[in-house]
Amino acid sequence: MTCKDICIRHKAQKPVGSGRYAIGQKRCQICEIFLKWDGLWCPCCGYRLRTRNLKYKAKLRARKKNQTEMMGPVFIHAKKNV
Ligand SMILES: [Zn+2]
Ligand SMILES: [Zn+2]
């Protein structure tokens, strides 16, 4: 599984105002490129393409929540001083 430079022909343009996965672009981990490709497999190296990953999104949300909790006491403290 190696990059044969075929993926360049299917390279996806960076979308404006929306996420790459949201408009159906897929990422190849081997070629390290976003593709505009209907198949599940990379037309270049044959590796399984990454589509919108719900698990990854959930992870992001969890991290955001932790940050809010960390910020919480600081925010209350700052308010007391006012
Ligand atoms: Zn490639
Ligand atoms: Zn590839």
Range of the domain at 64: 54-82
Same domain, 41 and 9: yes
In the predicted model, is pLDDT for residue 79 greater than 80?
no
d(CA 47, CA 61): 28
| Domains contained in the chain, number | 2
In the predicted model, is pLDDT for residue 51 greater than 60?
yes
In the predicted model, is pLDDT for residue 24 greater than 80?
yes
Whole-number Å distance, alpha carbon 58 to ligand 2 midpoint, is 26
Q: Work out the burial of residue 54: count CB atoms within 10 Å of its CB; fewer than 13 is exposed, 13-18 middle, 19 or more buried.
A: exposed
| Prediction pTM value | 0.61
In the predicted model, is pLDDT for residue 36 greater than 70?
yes
Same domain, 43 and 72: no
Whole-number Å distance, alpha carbon 4 to ligand 1 midpoint, is 5
Same domain, 46 and 64: no
Which ligand has the nearest atom to the CA of 30? 2
d(CA 40, CA 65): 32
Same domain, 47 and 66: no
pLDDT, tens only, 54-76:
555 556 667 666 665 555 555 55
